[in-house]
């Protein structure tokens, strides 16, 4: 049986695991994972968890090592906090897996740069006229790098976009903002650092003259009367502004979708 959407597959996996049929859930994952390549890291993680749950931890570790060979790392926090892997924490093979994942994580260029900027063509340059500045948070299970195409239209309308990267990583290309206190402090720190860097660039270009920034904390339109897309919904600009006002209070309701009984 093939599933049209990932949500359908996830619901069926939850149903099987919740009724104690972990073997059937693992078989389903083995056949369906190739059909959802964009969810491969999550689905392989679930497979490794089920293998360990069924008493085959070596198979689970081999699955994660296979992902490493493809350049897909998992965060130490994710692997350490998984209840299924609790009994493996002191296992030498698991320790080696953690070290390899951590090395790839630390070397990943997409998490090394906490703020990525997109500038309009020939605008928002040091020494030039001021322009509006938009601070953007990526979606859960995404990254600042992968979110840049979403924010490109704002740059084409004259905004300088500063895309912030969450430090709450799950695996390569997937971070979340679920720890609200950490997210709030991190976003405030990154916003302050980005503004300081832009102002320093402008002072160097203009001497001692201070740049005029117009900070915004969410996806706003630059024109009244427009409708914009926020979180998958089309809203009026006023509604978008209300949403944006909450963004530093942040964002998302869950971490890795667990398999629950």
Residue ranges of the chain with per-residue pLDDT less than 70: 1, 205-261
Question: Residue 136 forms beta bridges with which residues?
Answer: 163
139 and 222: one domain?
yes
33 and 62: one domain?
yes
Please report whether residue 185 resides in a domain: yes
Give me the sheet containing 132-137, strands edge to edge: 115-118, 160-164, 132-137, 214-216
Contact 122, 116 (CB under 8 A): no
Q: What pLDDT, on the 0 to 100 scale, is given for residue 132?
A: 86
Number of domains in the chain: 2
Please report whether residue 95 resides in a domain: yes
Phi, psi angle pair for 172, to nearest 5°: -55, 125
Dig out the tokens for 228 from the structure: 């914009």
Report how far residue 191's alpha carbon sits from residue 8's, in angstroms, rounded to the nearest whole number. 38
| Full residue range of the structural domain in which residue 13 is found | 6-107
Each residue of 208-219: pLDDT tens digit?
Answer: 444 444 444 433
43 and 132: one domain?
no
Please report whether residue 259 resides in a domain: no
Please report whether residue 256 resides in a domain: no
Q: What pLDDT, on the 0 to 100 scale, is given for residue 50?
A: 94
Q: How far does the chain reach from its first CA to its final CA, in angstroms?
A: 23
19 and 84: one domain?
yes
Q: What pLDDT, on the 0 to 100 scale, is given for residue 225?
A: 29
204 and 81: one domain?
no
Q: Among residues 107, 134, 154, which one ends one of the domains?
A: 107
90 and 116: one domain?
no
- Rounded to the nearest 10°, the torsion over CA 79, 247, 187, 191 is 150
- Rounded to the nearest 10°, the torsion over CA 192, 195, 198, 199 is -100
127 and 170: one domain?
yes
49 and 22: one domain?
yes
159 and 122: one domain?
yes
Please report whether residue 33 resides in a domain: yes
103 and 118: one domain?
no
Q: What are the CA-CA distances from residue 198 to residues 53, 193, 209 (Å)?
A: 50, 9, 12
Report how far residue 43's alpha carbon sits from residue 105's, in angstroms, rounded to the nearest whole number. 19
Report how far residue 195's alpha carbon sits from residue 215's, in angstroms, rounded to the nearest whole number. 9
Please report whether residue 187 resides in a domain: yes
Nearest Cα neighbor of 163 from 126, 193, 138 is 138
pTM for the whole thing?
0.72
Q: Among residues 92, 107, 122, which one ends one of the domains?
A: 107
159 and 239: one domain?
yes
Q: Among residues 107, 124, 139, which one ends one of the domains?
A: 107
């Amino acid at each position: 049986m093939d599933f049209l959407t990932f949500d359908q597959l996830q619901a069926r996996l939850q149903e099987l695991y919740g009724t104690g049929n972990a073997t059937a859930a693992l078989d389903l994952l083995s056949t369906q994972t190739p059909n959802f390549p964009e969810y491969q890291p999550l689905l392989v993680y679930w497979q490794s968890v089920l293998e360990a749950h069924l008493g085959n931890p070596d198979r689970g570790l081999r699955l994660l090592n296979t992902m490493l060979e493809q350049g897909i790392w998992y965060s130490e926090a994710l692997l350490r906090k998984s209840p299924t892997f609790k009994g493996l924490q002191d296992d030498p093979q698991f320790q080696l897996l953690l070290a390899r994942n951590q090395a790839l994580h630390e070397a990943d260029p997409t998490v090394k740069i906490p703020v990525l900027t997109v500038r309009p063509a020939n605008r928002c340059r040091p020494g030039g006229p001021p322009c509006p500045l938009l601070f953007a948070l990526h979606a859960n299970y995404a990254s600042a790098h992968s979110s840049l195409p979403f924010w490109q239209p704002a740059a084409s309308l004259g905004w300088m976009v500063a895309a912030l990267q969450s430090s709450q990583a799950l695996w390569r290309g997937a971070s979340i903002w679920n720890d609200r206190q950490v997210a709030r402090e991190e976003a405030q720190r990154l916003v302050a650092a980005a503004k300081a860097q832009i102002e320093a660039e402008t002072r160097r270009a203009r001497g001692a003259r201070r740049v005029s920034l117009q900070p915004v904390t969410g996806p706003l339109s630059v024109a009244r009367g427009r409708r914009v897309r926020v979180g998958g919904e089309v809203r009026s600009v006023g509604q978008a502004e209300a949403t944006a006002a909450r963004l530093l209070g942040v964002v998302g309701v869950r971490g890795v979708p667990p398999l629950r009984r």
